[in-house]
Structure 1
Amino acid sequence: MLTRALIVVLAILNLGVATWWLLRDEPARAPLPPHPTGVAELRWLPGGTDAAVAAQASAAAPTEALVEREAAPATAVAAAPAPAPAPAASASKSVEPVKTPEPVATIAKPAPEPVAGKPAAPAAPPRCLALGPFADRAAATAAQSRAGNLLGQVRLREQPAASGSARYRVLLPAAASRDDAQATVKRIVAAGLSDYYIISQGEGTNAIALGQYRNREGAERRMAAVQAAGFQPRLVASGDAGQWWLEGQLGAAAEPAQAQQRSGAAQQRSLECTRLR
């Protein structure tokens, strides 16, 4: 019985609240404050670029709003800078001006470095020449000293006379007597040397000749063999004298004319470097 009474009371209360809600008066809205003259109206745009364009088309304000469009998909904000500072009583919000980005300095990229391991340019081939002619070996030796480091792998070469009459003899000094000369011959034979004879007349009496040659190179080889056997021979030239040449390889920064001038040679000739080996 009590439960039924509570249900009836609740139903009557709900019916009363519903009737009051339907019959109540609509509250009046407060009027908006007047818009200040000369100040752009700030409006919120719910969309992106299309919403900003629609808002500009429908705006009734005398001044156009500034629209700042960013590259990122952010909401565009339309605002126009006020010509004069707004009064303190103005309810509009001030919009800060957009700062123009400063230009970024361009940093020049350094030139690429050479690749490690890249093969270097091939070196220039060696150059060789002959300088001369010189009257004798002493003059050629002096020219070699004057040339200095302009020439490397230097050698002295004698060119026989054109007539072919030059001769080179390898001699042992004259002995005091014939018997002394014969004793020396026995020592020569014991050392394994051959091609010898004792001079019996003239200025070289009792001297021992160990060979006669047409070029100095052959005579010098014979002298070296005799010296190796323990003797001290000498070289005697006869007939027309030959010419001496200074042969060598040019330095890296040297020129043929420079080497010729420094050595004092009258001529220069190109030479194959293989001849110096």
Structure 2
Amino acid sequence: MFLRAAIVILTCLNLGAVAWWVAGSQPNRTLPPPPEAPQLRLVAELKPAAVAKPAAADGVCLRFGPFAGPAARTGAAESLAAIGVQATPFEDRSGAASGWDVFLPAQADHAAAVALVDKLKTAGVADVFVMNDGRNANRIALGRFSSEAGARRRVDELRAQGVAPVIEARGNGSKRIWLDARLPASIGQARVAAIAPSQALDCSHLQ
């Protein structure tokens, strides 16, 4: 009886040892993470974010002239209008500027100038009056400014009201007349040269 019990115990111990050896020889298995778990990635696997490309410049700004006279400037303005470009007449002096005036050209006579001023006031245009001095008699004054930027803002305001004024720089020296315009970037140099001589202009002047 004692011998049989000992045999049974030894057999059980051997079976346990075999089971332990078999279990230990199996490779460890790692359960995959659930689908919603965030995945770790090596730094080398991360692609750099695409760098946004700067927007293409919105056209090119030029100052055409100086023109020999108003007729030549009008012809250039018509050429620009034919390609969908609205130009701003600009006048200055060959010397340093002491200020800037915004105005409409002189009318045929005083009565016509007064009638135009009344029309502008009815349309909501403020700070407008007829000039009576000799050289600028019957000109429609729309503002006098100490900076060109202030004059440009006044021009933008008036254009929004349907008025197309002129900017003139006050100062000493001979008078020069120009046209300022923003043109499409796609326009060719030959086409620009055919309109009139021009020089680069800071686009901030046309804001």
Where relative contact order (Cα < 8 A, 6+ residues apart) is larger, the structure is 2
TM-score, normalised to structure 2's length?
0.38
For the pair shown, which has the larger CA radius of gyration, 1 or 2? 1
TM-score, normalised to structure 1's length?
0.29
Bigger fraction of residues in strand: 2
